[in-house]
Amino acid sequence: MKIIETISELREQLDEARSEGKRIGLVPTMGYFHEGHLSLMEAARAETDLVVTSIFVNPLQFGPREDFDGYPRDFARDSMLAEKVGVDLIFQPSVGEMYPEGATTTLDVGRIGEIVEGAIRPGHFNGVATVCTKLFNIAQPHKAFFGQKDAQQLSVIRKVVRDLAMNIDIVDCPTVREADGLAMSSRNVYLTSDDRKAAPALAEALFSASALVQEGARSAASIKACVRERLSQESSVKLQYVEVTEENGFEPVENISGRLVVSIAAFIGTTRLIDNVRVDVGTGKPA
């Protein structure tokens, strides 16, 4: 496994692979790997010939009061884990390499970036879209792999690829959960042991919501009430939002039909976590 820090070296390596007819899979990450990241790399390994994982904590997607400086980082552990699952190249650029002085061009994804999670984190999805577009331009992968855990991010990336006619297949992979349901996230490391005990309530609330759809509930209001009710039982959990949206534009809906996403954001103590379930009104099961 090679570790590459510059755009020019990565391009050189990937041009060579492409000229040999290899299909390139890209897994964009901010590092501090958990099973969720590794499942994306495994999917890329299974579906493409050369797997590149980028590790870049992207300043553009963090708000001024967010955790950019404190975001967990452990490159030695990450590279060991990536090698184990068969990653070929790690691309670990510096901030200066990705955003050289004078680089002021960014993407604006419009409304999808301003609603639900985007309403709480202004500019976040524009930052994600900008860095992913840049990574796509650098690596020109055949496929790029993202987790369903960040469902709105996934919709944003699909929209960018569609809107800008990028020739990339976006592959989404299921959320990986701890045995008690807690969705894996690099930010879980912030949880105190008491927070950690309360944290599975998020997944439980979402699974109850999905069960309610399965039982025939058809109003978003009843789904949201169910989530609120479950989370109100945990004193250390402060729900920031629960929203029921369609999958593509992430527009909130009032009535349940088709494929939808139930998303939540909550503070557990001082740690902010997000999670979601997809529901399909055909089955009501997590889709």
- Residues known to be catalytic: 37
Among 44, 233, 42, 58, which Cα is nearest to 133's?
Answer: 58
Q: Which span sits near ligand PAF by CB under 6 A: 12-20, 92-100, 124-132, 237-245? A: 124-132
Of 132-191, binders to ligand PAF (CB under 6 A) are 132, 150, 153
Size of the site for ligand PAF (CB under 6 A): 10
Q: What residue type is 252 in one-letter code?
A: P
CB of 241 to ligand PAF, least distance (A): 19
Q: Is there binding between residue 44 and ligand PAF (CB under 6 A)?
A: no
Residue number with CB closer to ligand PAF (124 or 230): 124
Confirm if 191 and 268 have CB atoms less than 8 A apart.
yes
The sheet carrying 271-280 orders its strands as: 237-246, 259-268, 271-280
232/244 Cα distance (integer angstroms) = 18
Of residues 54 through 73, those in contact with ligand PAF by CB under 6 A are: 58, 61
Angstrom CA distances, 192 to 46, 180, 229, 269, stand at 36, 16, 24, 8
Q: 189 or 221, CB closer to ligand PAF?
A: 189
Q: Which is nearer to ligand PAF, 154 or 201 (CB)?
A: 154
Told to check if 128 binds ligand PAF by CB under 6 A, we report yes
Cα atoms in the Cβ-side hemisphere of radius 13 Å centred on 211: 8
Q: 91-111 as b/e, with b when 16 or more CB fall inside 10 Å?
A: bbbeeebbbeeeeeeebebee
Judged by CB under 6 A, does residue 118 bind ligand PAF?
A: no
Nearer to ligand PAF, 38 or 132 (CB): 132
Q: Which residues bind ligand PAF (CB under 6 A)?
A: 28-30, 58, 61, 128, 131-132, 150, 153
